[in-house]
Amino acid sequence: MKSFLILTTLLVIPFVNSQSIIGGSPAYQGKFPYHADVGISENGVSTWCSGGGVLVSLQWVLTSSSCLYGIWSGQKKVIIILGSTTRDEQPETLKFEISPNSTNIIFNTASPDAKDDLVLIQLPKQTSFTTNVQQVSLPRTKGIYGILFNERAYVTGWKNESTTNSSLTFFEINTIKNTNCVEEYDPERRDIIAPKNICAKLEMDTAQECFGGVGAPLVSLPYNILIGITSTLSLKNCDRPGSPVVFLRITDYLDWIKATAFA
């Protein structure tokens, strides 16, 4: 049986806070009720993760570990907003301010590659599901989701992050084989795409559209099943027009997610 540890030391991961989403379509409120806005607040200043996160249960949000870089230092708080497509006030949205500790911020350490991993954030109380706030579905087992390609999916993230006019944006995207991903991403670095990754391509292979938001959920159609979270490798997507978007494969983390968020 695998064991999972709680990290209480500072992870050496850059906080993702650059303009990294170009193009896409604006999301209307309620279209992606599982999407979460994730940020860190200190001394009245909030910094937001470009991809956000995803509500996986009544009380837990999943995102990239890079989104909580430096969370143990200073007087930081985690900010979670559910049900919104902007950072302005909207009806039926939920906002939580979380004082981080070792029981409500849980990093996954099953993988030795901790610089590119996942974290679960516990909300102060269980959410009440509405039209605008719903948990995403998880794969029941690895099954076909363990070897996944040619799957239509949505990826969602925030444009113009760290500003007051940020808006939730989505792309329809198609997963590809990891072998094809290596060839398109960097054929000279065959080790860069690991088995724990899923790759997907945007419809447009131009610099007019790109998705570099870290922490964003990849959700398969038509059943809204979470299959990936954007990896830090996705940061290069906007620098390399037409390159695949790289995700962490949810089935590789499924046991940990279920043991933590559904205990």
Alpha-carbon gap, residue 202 to 210, rounded angstroms = 7
Residues near 56 by beta carbon (within 8 Å), at least 6 away in sequence:
62, 120, 135, 136, 138, 226, 257, 261
- Percent of the chain with pLDDT strictly greater than 90: 45
pTM (2 d.p.):
0.87
The continuous run of DSSP H or E covering 107 comes out as: strand 105-107
CATH of domain 143-251: 2.40.10.10
3-state secondary structure of 65: helix
Average pLDDT of the chain, as a whole number: 82
Whether the pLDDT of residue 36 is over 90: the answer is yes
Domain boundaries 33-135+252-261, corresponding CATH code: 2.40.10.10
What's the pLDDT score for residue 15? Answer: 42
Q: Which pair of tokens denotes residue 95?
A: 């906002």
Poorest-pLDDT segment among 2-11, 72-81, 225-234: 2-11
Share of the chain above pLDDT 70, in %: 81
Among 117, 50, 94, smallest CA distance to 257 is for 117
Token pair for 8: 């209480």
Q: What pLDDT, in 10s, does the model give residues 184-218?
A: 877 777 788 888 889 998 866 555 788 888 899 99
Sequence ranges of the chain with CATH classification 2.40.10.10 = 33-135+252-261, 143-251
